[in-house]
Amino acid sequence: MPMIDADGCLLNVSVEGRDGGPTLMLSNSLGTNMQMWQPQMKALTQLFRVIRYDRRGHGKSGVPPGPYSMERFGRDVLAILDDLNIEKVHWCGLSMGGMVGQWLGANAPERMGKIILSNTTCYFPDPTNWLNRIKAVKEGGMAGLADTVIAAWLTADFREREPQITQNVKAMLLATPPAGYIACCEALSTLDQRALLPKIKSPTLVIAGRHDMSTPVAAAEFIRSHIPGASMTILDAAHISNVEQQHAFTEAVVGFLTQR
């Protein structure tokens, strides 16, 4: 896996799949790494060249000191594309990955094909949740908030039915560098990208989870209604819908990206 330098930060990148076809870039949620997308990889690599990466502060990427910002995350993506000599990609981002996708759609439209914004929001009116998370990680490390986060990420039914998958997701969260997680929470505490949405001209699909308490359906509907021509799909899932509803998520992504 290549390590790509973005403004002094080494980013862990993976490129797999079909040569010569369209390129799809996947962007993870806060507190996960590129392995989050494993349930989709078999199907997606048959149709696309697929780029995955660990956001700065996550996985095997570098953890430079904060502050981080959505612009910084977006410019990391552009650095990856430039390094790989890729002019344009389809985008699929979940949660924080969807927030980065909003920035890219508005600020680098020439690099974006179709855009999928899953389980995400454009605005947090109250920073309290993020400030509490920062406090919890400073006091107890990632273990200090792991159970609370997993309870929001996956429904209770799924956690009971799929304990091994749940454990794998929790392991990703626990392995996230605390300093990187804190720097990302600081960026999220001031998130307001509402003004960017009308500037996004790419064909856009918004995916929401019916049981998502972190970025609820209302947040997804706000995004859909403010991006010209955007459509929305609701899945029977909580926040990490690509894990909880693997097949339905994959079908939604493939269907949207392959329709004429």
Nearest-CA neighbor of 259 among 221, 207, 220, 203?
203
Q: What is the pLDDT along the chain (260 residues), one digit of tens a residue?
A: 678 888 889 999 999 998 888 999 999 999 999 999 999 999 999 999 999 999 999 999 999 998 899 999 999 999 999 999 999 999 999 999 999 999 999 999 999 999 999 999 999 999 999 999 999 999 999 999 999 999 999 999 999 999 999 999 999 999 999 999 999 999 999 999 999 999 999 999 999 999 999 999 999 999 999 999 999 999 999 999 999 999 999 999 999 999 98
Q: What is the pLDDT of residue 1?
A: 67
Token readout for 162 is: 């799929």
Cα separation values, 59 from 29, 51, 84, 165, 252, Å: 12, 15, 20, 18, 27
Q: 122-139 burial, b for 16+ CB within 10 Å, e for fewer?
A: bebeeeeebeebbebbee
Contact 221, 232 (CB under 8 A): yes
Q: Can you name the CATH fold of 3-123+193-258? A: Rossmann fold (3.40.50)
Residues linked to residue 5 through DSSP beta bridges, in sequence order: 10
Burial class (CB in 10 A: 0-12, 13-18, 19+), 110: exposed
| DSSP per residue, 66-129 | S---HHHHHHHHHHHHHHTT---EEEEEETHHHHHHHHHHHH-GGGEEEEEEES--SB-S--HH
Q: Which residue is listed with tokens 């020439």?
A: 110
* 94-234-30 Cα angle (round to 5): 20
Q: Which residue is listed with tokens 């759609």?
A: 105
How many CB atoms within 10 Å of residue 168? 14
Token readout for 196 is: 């960017």
How do the domains of the chain map onto residue ranges? 3-123+193-258
* 96-99-105 Cα angle (round to 5): 145
Q: Which amino acid is at 29?
A: S
Q: What is the pLDDT of residue 20?
A: 83
- Cα 203 from Cα 114, distance rounded (Å): 5
Token readout for 98 is: 């969807």
Nearest-CA neighbor of 93 among 126, 43, 62, 53?
53
Q: 177-216 burial, b for 16+ CB within 10 Å, e for fewer?
A: bbebbbbbbbbbbebebeebbeebebbbbbbbbebbebbb
How many CB atoms within 10 Å of residue 5? 12
